[in-house]
Chain A
Amino acid sequence: MGENKSLLQLEGITKIFSRGTIDEVKALDNIKLDVNAEDYITIIGSNGAGKTTMLNLIAGVFPPERGGKVIINGNDITGLSEYKHAAYIGRVYQDPNIGTATKMTIEENLAMAVLRGQTRGLRAASNKQRRELFRSTLAPLGLGLEDRLNAMVGTLSSGQRQAVALVMATISKPALLLLDEHIANLDPRTAQIVLELTEMIVRQEKMTTMMVTHNMELALKYGNRLIMMHEGKIVVDLNQDQRTGLTINDLVTAFEQASGRKFIEDKILLRR
């Protein structure tokens, strides 16, 4: 496997919301990004920088403006509906309720997830073999979920639910994993656990990952590449070598140089 094999290419991606009204926002401004296979990219940026919009666009929630291109594994998927993008992309959201069906059991949720991107037919949704797979996938998390396959997801704690969401996003081994502040809603201890689970799964499956976070320390600690966004643009893009040895203060300086603005912690909510 070549180190520099390109997995995702974004070319000339612009996204304008409420075009032609006074609320017009250019959420993404001519983005170009090349993600290599097995990259683990952390993404930081101020509120409204366009991080979520970029992930939504990659996931096909909406198409880019004319001329933009989304290419994954060599397939041009620009403009295809979200459910077609889903064959390539696993996603975990900030709110655990978005990533799981709360009125269904853990088993049913995983049975949905394991068929990502495949044609669903009239076979039984779950069987002994799949239950074994679910158990063996849940067991390493160390949360005891493997013994609770029949529990409704709505009865789990938010940390447990986010762990289930993470397993659902990764169990079918999609080409790309998108994480949007997926630990931001959790208490610090649970956040740490879910973060470690993420690290474990990403490492084990060598999964190409893009993780949005507001925490600069985490952004430096995890992954092999760091992207900073500002006003719809990627203003800083550091590879592993450029990143090593950097401190949070270096990041702040880089932000100020790139954006031409003073770093005001409160306003842009980047946590040290």
Chain B
Amino acid sequence: MPPIIQGILNTSISEGLVYAFIAIGVFLTLRVLAFPDLTVDGSFVVGGSIVAVMIAGGYNPFLATIVAFVGGLACGAITGLLNTKLRIPALLAGILMMVGLYSVNLLIMGRPNIPLLRSVTMFDSIASWFGMARSTILVIIVFAVIAFIVFMLLNWFLRTEIGLALRASGDNEQMVRSLGVDTDKNILLGVAISNGLVALAGALVAQNQQFSDVNMGIGMIVMGLAAVIIGEALIHPRGVTSMLLAAFVGTFLYRLFITIAFRLGLAPGNLKLITALLVIIAMAIPYIQKKLRHEWMPPAARW
């Protein structure tokens, strides 16, 4: 395989594996719980900040990664509480969290960014177990193992009694309550897991790129959405497994698309615009199709 293609593939695979957690998070909130959650842009950085501060402070990188995950869980739980207990609309609750978390991340890191060049990340630790140097292949293998574990855990959890109730809460909350389930608790749990996964992605990305930056979360929600839309278009997920697979496939293709675009000379600064346009087009297509067929479509929700 020509090295350039190999390079493109390596990048898309490793990024596809780790950013897929964000797509799964968006799937969980938006599609499963019908809870459009914008906390994501903030909780991604929470993962990065926690891991960077701890690793730079000499803590075990595995412990740091777990703490980052828990930090994300906490962010999601707060968003869930704002919505269920204080009755703040989901979208606004997420925006409030995203804005507030910007300052929180500065507080955690104490400055806008922390380099990890000379610190021992998870990848360095694992490489040293096997007496090797850190390499792209190693990173891909580590990501693949973690992605596999997350995939299997969610694939199991969403089929359990609690997982089923969680999924049903997004479909028909009234029914779920009338069957004796505390739907508030379910929404809280779902949004927490979603943001935990996003923070996990943030923690892994920070260790892979060897720095954490307070701005690294900007547009993550839109990227996750783009991946979800691509995955859905290709896989038409019907069940739990295909939904999770769609998140991985969608993220991989999205990363492949932008990696190639970069190689062809796309300026990195234009990435967010391209991603936003991609999502706008994908979301507008159903309406335009209906319009062409002279079908009626209700106005979009404003909340």
Contacts and interface: CB of A to CB of B under 8 A. Distances in A.
Interface of A: 59, 81-84, 86-87, 89, 91, 97-104, 108-109, 111-113, 115-118, 120-126, 168
A100 B177 contact: no
Q: Which applies to chain B's interface (DSSP): helix, strand, loop or mixed?
A: helix
A126 B180 CA distance: 18
Interface stretch (B77-85, B103-111, B159-167): B159-167
A89 B177 CA distance: 11
Interface string B171-206: 110111111111100000000000000000000000
B175 A82 contact: no
B164 A82 contact: no
Contacts of A112: 164-165, 168, 175-176, 179, 181
Closest CB pairs A-B (n = 4): A86-B180, A120-B161, A125-B164, A101-B171
A122 B175 CA distance: 21
Contacts, number: 84
A101 B175 contact: yes
A112 to B, nearest CB: 5
A247 to B, nearest CB: 36
A255 to B, nearest CB: 31
Query: Among the interface residues B167, B174, B175, which one has the most CB atoms of the partner chain A within 10 A?
Result: B175
A168 B174 CA distance: 14
A109 B172 CA distance: 11
A82 B177 contact: yes
A123 B160 contact: yes
A122 B171 CA distance: 20
Contact of B178 (A82, A108, A124): A82
A121 B157 CA distance: 10
Nearest to A87: B180
Contacts of A91: 178
